[in-house]
Structure 1
Amino acid sequence: MDALKKGFSMAKEGVVAAAEKTKAGVEEAAAKTKEGVMYVGTKTKEGVVTSVNTVAQKTTEQANVVGESAVAGANQVSEKAVESLETVVASTGLVKPVELSKQEGAVEQPTDAGQ
């Protein structure tokens, strides 16, 4: 009977030792899993931030291109309008063509009627 008790005692110790090792193994696996998940989360966050910054930069660049095109277009329209007005004024005889050529490039300042 002592041999049986001793055998069961050894078996019990073996089961306890195995359970402790299993517990340690599970804890280690959980820690590694947590590390892996945190790493993936960090890398995903970095990727999203980089993507958002890239999109914002490209949007800004495109907005600048559109703005520059709009300004260039407005300048062309205003130049053509001034040229057309000069032609109309000259053709109606209100101003002599010689006077227009002298004033080209010069900006006339409006006069104050009170002075």
Structure 2
Amino acid sequence: MDVLKKGFSIAKEGVVAAAEKTKAGVEEAAAKTKEGVMYVGTKTKEGVVSSVNTVAQKTTEQANLVGESAVAGANQVSEKAEEGLESVVASTGLVNPAEVSKTEGAAEQPTDAGQ
């Protein structure tokens, strides 16, 4: 009977030792898993922030290009309207064509072909 008790006691110690090692292994695995998840989360957050900043920068660049194009287009329309108005004023005789060219410097003289 003593032999059986001694055998069971040794087996019990073995099971306890195995349980301790398993517990330590699980705790270590959990810590490593947590560390890995935190790392991935941090990298994902950095990636999202970087992507948002890149998109914001590209959007700003595109908005600037559109704004510059709109201003250039508006300036062109304004210049053409001014040229057309000067031609109409000069051709109707409301203003002397010589005065228009003196004051503006860039106005074209209308032809007298229609008069």
Give the aligned partner of residue 65 of structure 1: 65
Scaled by the length of structure 1, what TM-score is found? Answer: 0.89
2:52 aligns to what SS in structure 1? helix
Distance 2:97 2:57 in 1: 50
- Alignment partner of 1:51 is 2:54: no
Give the aligned partner of residue 97 of structure 1: 97
Deviation at 1:102, TM superposition (A): 1.2
Distance 1:104 1:70 in 2: 25
Distance 1:10 1:102 in 2: 117
Give the aligned partner of residue 76 of structure 1: 76
- Alignment partner of 1:13 is 2:27: no
Q: Which amino acid aligns with 2:99?
A: E
Deviation at 1:32, TM superposition (A): 0.2
2:55 aligns to what SS in structure 1? helix
Distance 1:84 1:29 in 2: 81
Distance 2:104 2:12 in 1: 108
Distance 1:103 1:16 in 2: 106
Give the aligned partner of residue 4 of structure 1: 4
The structure 1 segments of at least 4 consecutive aligned residues displaced by more than 2 Å after TM superposition are: none
Deviation at 1:64, TM superposition (A): 0.6
Q: Give the unaligned 5+ runs of structure 2.
A: 106-115
Distance 1:103 1:29 in 2: 87
Deviation at 1:47, TM superposition (A): 0.6
Deviation at 1:67, TM superposition (A): 0.6
Identity, % of aligned positions: 90
Could you say what the CA RMSD is over the residues aligned between the two structures, in angstroms? 0.8
Higher relative contact order (CA 8 A, sep 6+): 2
Q: Give the unaligned 5+ runs of structure 1.
A: 106-115
Deviation at 1:4, TM superposition (A): 1.1
